[in-house]
Structure 1
Amino acid sequence: MTELLTREDAPGAIEVHDPASGELVGRVTSATEQEVAKAVRAARAAFAEWRRTPAAERAEALKAAAAELRDRADELAEMNTRETGKVPGDARGGVLAGAGTLEQYAELGPAHRGRSLQGGWDATDLMVPEPRGVVVALTPWNDPVAVACGLLGAALATGNVVVHKPSERCPHVGRMLTGLLARHLPSDVLQCLDGDGSVGAWLAECDDVDVIAHVGSTATGRSVAVAAARTGAKVLLENGGNDALIVDAGVDPRWAASQAALGAFANAGQICVSVERIYVHREVAGEFLDALVAEAGKRPHEVPMGPLVDERQRDHVHGHVTDALEQGAELLAGGVPPDGPGARYPATVLSGCTPSMRVMSEETFGPVAPVRVVDDFDQALAEAADDRYGLTATVLTESMSHAQRAWRELPVGTVKVNNVFGGAPAGAAHPRKASGEGFGYGPELLDEMTVTKVVHIGPAGG
């Protein structure tokens, strides 16, 4: 995810390489501190007009941008694959999901309403939502179009202006997306800045920024929060996760293994809500592990799986695997980086894992399925809950009482029962603990992007 914010005063060219082949995709020039300040000033100047633009007109602009995004889905998906290694079908799906999100906020924006209050008969009392002002959006590389469209769409629909800094790992995708949207908006309402962590730091520390929305690592999110504490900006954070999967007694072990493989290996394990650690009941552990190894063996030949985003991420993932093996874990599949260019890493299954291993206690963010065998559901639930993150968790069980206990007791924003991915549209949750704060998606994001004003209008001369 996005890099730790640093203040190294060394802006310059950033090279992006294809993680599948190692070939150079392109170079971008990192913004200077002066360019950051200039962009924020320009956004502030554009805010006065954009906030007065009728909500229906703002919605039409987002709908037009969404239509163009659909028309150019293949173009953006191809660049996404080249920069991040996302498999083409998933990359295109992410673009279409982004277009759908823009359309959603185009519909919700004009319907975002305040309240009338019951005051005196001769008075009018209202609670009115107003845009906050200048929003900085710091977006990640693992699903760059879909995630960015959520933050940008909600901010723009409610009358805010935005300075967008995409991850330095996919700057061309970020600039293409921002430019596409900006063509349908007045000048400077939406701007894009290229750069590494230093650019993000300058934006976060700017006194004239009202909201900082960040999706990325916990370390970066906490740097953002520290900066915002000095300026007073509102912070929205969706940060790291160490999402647990519990496999209860009585479930079909082959079905459970297919769910675990989907959660751990999709997008090479580089999804914010990927399965990061697995607790399996001893009763089904043997068959489950055999089936999970078979699932790993299908990738990437039978089931597509792309590379990791770059060699630095591959080194991080392999470091977690190596640490587990040194502490006594058993390697059942994968675990050996292939020779040749690029940043591929095999689907990996580890057994005999313990809580002290980094692969169980930290976010690996790679195609690794670490498995810990437990004696009963109580142990699984207790160990799954004992974690500094609080993003999501999944429970596979035939027991309704266990399902009820799980969603009640797991201290995370989202609990999924019998499905590692999926859910009804428009759901929104608060991440917990080191995983962030605030609603980062769904209709509730419109509330986060606005501030409420109370208005009392009394009779003249009264």
Structure 2
Amino acid sequence: MTRTASGEAEPMAAASSAQTTFDSLDPRTGEVVGRYPLHDATEVNEIVESARVAGRWWAELGFAERKKRLDQWRALLVRGIDELAGVICSETGKPLDDARLELVLVIDHLHWAANKAEKVLRRRKVGSGVLMANQAATVEYVPFGVVGVIGPWNYPAFTPMGSIAYALAAGNSVVFKPSELTPGVGRWLVDSFAEVVPEHPVLALTTGFGETGAALCASGVDKVAFTGSTATGKRVMAACSETLTPVLVECGGKDALIVDSDADLKAAAEAAVWGGMSNAGQTCIGVERVFVVEAVADRFLELVAERAKKLRPGGEPGADLGPITMPSQVEVIRRHVDEALDGGARAVVGGKDSVRPPFVEPVVLVDVPAGSAAAVDETFGPTLVVERVRDADEGVERANQGNYGLGGTVFSRSRGVELGRKLRAGMVAVNSVIAFAAVPALPFGGVGDSGFGRIHGEDGLREFARPQSMTRTKFRIPLNPMSFARSKGTVRAVVRLIRLTRGR
């Protein structure tokens, strides 16, 4: 089975024809923590058809009743934080507090989506314009029907819930295909939702490897929301193109942090270490590159090294970092570090010996050769590449040269917003790191190889609904150009009206 950094198995990968179940393993110990069905295309189609019936019922409940049910689900999630956090820990290996923090964000986003859906999506009046003054014009956002959500393993609750919560609030049913590494998290979410919505499978689960995800894309769902690698995202798009199924694609990143000469260096160093190494670096919006102005580079590196050297990976509850969840990713991290060091880079923290499967100790690299994998490709491990630049503008220019465009960070007292606006990124944090992900009202997504479409915020709600425009005739008008019964002078009169009202 070929898997990719941002979390999903390759869609074309196949399991044994005789295999009907698969095991979920604790990456810290290799212990089996669960066994789940390997759904084939026939089973996926049946799940989708059941969800379609459920979706019609869910949509007819209306905003108020859906909000009531979603609020009940939120309360249930609050009560079950520790239980679900334990499932996340057992399948990803991340520290318990990191799992709890992930769920805090899930709950806050669910609250926002449920409370804002009606305001954002309900029918509203719009201006009709001078030519259509006799028309009452409205627009509303109606649910697609069934939304397929293909989730990653690195944040197995927070990331897919950015689609699930907003799709449900918009009135859709959802079929969730979690990563094969974290099916237990998906099972827990679906089962808990069924406790407050027992009537129909409005949120349904399908489990398996890449071919199960491919089956979901081909099943007739009305939209697919995918999170994973760029390569897999392109395959998802290709599969969905066969049926013109719209897609939302959130892929990886190579996010940069810019440190200006007037930055709070202590705060910037702390942000760089947290952004690059929390969750063992397995964060699509994590910091992988730092561009620091030459005048403050030495002091910044001292602060980064001081903080990073204190971090310890391990499987115990008090560890700073968990394991690398996907075993094959260890070799990607090893290759990036080894190639950089062999090419002349220098490690100010860690080095080749830092890669000790299933754990990787923090690595901070400087003087990394331009164009090396560590400098341009997604590493997805607890590593930082720090590069010196003449000024912050050069840092922005260098950051924008890559193919990715997910998130970015700027530390500058005087030019933070100015520099942030120049970054080719879907999201930017100024004098903080990853803060945008925790603000439910802000859209989340990228450009370029980081994908397109948005979850979270008003844009996220509209992403899971289609606009329907409507006009209604209020009264007849003497000049109606849209009729074969119009007089010969009607169009001339309309042209005169446009010249008079729109010609200046």
Shorter chain as denominator, the TM-score bin is over 0.9
Aligned counterpart, 2:171 = 159
Distance 1:141 1:7, change over 3 A: closer
User: Structure 1: 5+ residue runs without aligned partners?
Assistant: none
The residue type equivalent to 2:122 in the other structure is: R
Q: How far has the Cα of 1:414 moved from its partner? A: 1.2
Q: 1:134–1:210: 8 Å Cα contact kept in structure 2?
A: yes
- Of all paired residues, the percent bearing the same amino acid is 34
The residue type equivalent to 1:115 in the other structure is: R
The residue type equivalent to 1:322 in the other structure is: D
Aligned counterpart, 2:500 = none
Aligned counterpart, 1:8 = 14
- How is 1:185-334 mapped onto 2 (pairs within 5 angstroms)? 185=197, 186-206=199-219, 208-300=220-312, 304-334=320-350
Aligned counterpart, 2:489 = none
Q: Does 1:170 align with 2:182?
A: yes
Partners in 1 of 2:470 and 2:413 — Cα distance?
53
The residue type equivalent to 2:334 in the other structure is: H
Equivalent position SS for 1:231: coil
Equivalent position SS for 1:148: helix
| Cα shift readout 1:405-446 (whole Å, capped 9, x = no counterpart) | 422321111122221232454111441111111111122211
Q: How far has the Cα of 1:91 moved from its partner? A: 0.5
Q: 1:168–1:196: 8 Å Cα contact kept in structure 2?
A: yes
Equivalent position SS for 1:363: coil
Distance 1:285 1:201, change over 3 A: same
Q: 2:354–2:363: 8 Å Cα contact kept in structure 1?
A: no
Q: How far has the Cα of 1:101 moved from its partner? A: 1.9
Distance 1:398 1:104, change over 3 A: closer
Q: How far has the Cα of 1:173 moved from its partner? A: 1.1
Equivalent position SS for 2:39: coil
User: Structure 2: 5+ residue runs without aligned partners?
Assistant: 1-6, 478-504
Q: How far has the Cα of 1:90 moved from its partner? A: 1.4
Equivalent position SS for 2:125: strand
Q: How far has the Cα of 1:137 moved from its partner? A: 0.5
Distance 1:377 1:160, change over 3 A: same
- How is 1:30-69 mapped onto 2 (pairs within 5 angstroms)? 30-69=38-77
Aligned counterpart, 2:421 = 408
Partners in 1 of 2:368 and 2:76 — Cα distance?
48
Distance 1:328 1:193, change over 3 A: same
Query: What number of residue pairs does the alignment pair up?
Result: 458
Equivalent position SS for 2:9: coil
Partners in 2 of 1:137 and 1:331 — Cα distance?
40
The residue type equivalent to 2:124 in the other structure is: R
Equivalent position SS for 1:42: helix
Q: Could you state the TM-score of these two structures normalised by the residue count of structure 1? A: 0.93
Partners in 2 of 1:360 and 1:18 — Cα distance?
31
Aligned counterpart, 2:483 = none
The residue type equivalent to 1:399 in the other structure is: S
Q: 2:95–2:321: 8 Å Cα contact kept in structure 1?
A: yes
Distance 1:323 1:160, change over 3 A: same
Q: Does 1:356 align with 2:378?
A: no
| Cα shift readout 1:208-230 (whole Å, capped 9, x = no counterpart) | 21110012211121111112222
Query: Of the candidates 390, 393, 401, which is equivalent to residue 386 of structure 1?
Result: 401
Distance 1:125 1:292, change over 3 A: closer
Equivalent position SS for 1:320: helix
Q: Does 1:420 align with 2:433?
A: yes
Q: 1:237–1:440: 8 Å Cα contact kept in structure 2?
A: no
Q: How far has the Cα of 1:337 moved from its partner? A: 5.4
Q: 1:163–1:193: 8 Å Cα contact kept in structure 2?
A: yes
The residue type equivalent to 1:307 in the other structure is: P
Q: In terms of Rg, which structure is larger?
A: 2
Aligned counterpart, 2:450 = 435
Equivalent position SS for 2:29: coil
Q: How far has the Cα of 1:10 moved from its partner? A: 3.2
Q: How far has the Cα of 1:389 moved from its partner? A: 0.4
Partners in 2 of 1:44 and 1:303 — Cα distance?
44
Q: How far has the Cα of 1:309 moved from its partner? A: 0.9
Question: Structure 1 residues 352-361 or 4-13, which shifts more?
Answer: 4-13
Partners in 1 of 2:183 and 2:218 — Cα distance?
22
What RMSD over aligned residues (CA atoms) do the two structures have, in Å? 2.3
Partners in 1 of 2:293 and 2:142 — Cα distance?
51
Q: 1:249–1:284: 8 Å Cα contact kept in structure 2?
A: yes
Q: How far has the Cα of 1:461 moved from its partner? A: 11
Aligned counterpart, 2:82 = 74
Partners in 1 of 2:94 and 2:172 — Cα distance?
31
Partners in 1 of 2:440 and 2:140 — Cα distance?
27
Equivalent position SS for 1:395: strand
Q: How far has the Cα of 1:197 moved from its partner? A: 1.0
Aligned counterpart, 2:125 = 116
Partners in 1 of 2:133 and 2:428 — Cα distance?
47
Partners in 1 of 2:280 and 2:175 — Cα distance?
30
Q: 1:214–1:236: 8 Å Cα contact kept in structure 2?
A: yes
Partners in 2 of 1:27 and 1:406 — Cα distance?
49
Distance 1:458 1:377, change over 3 A: closer
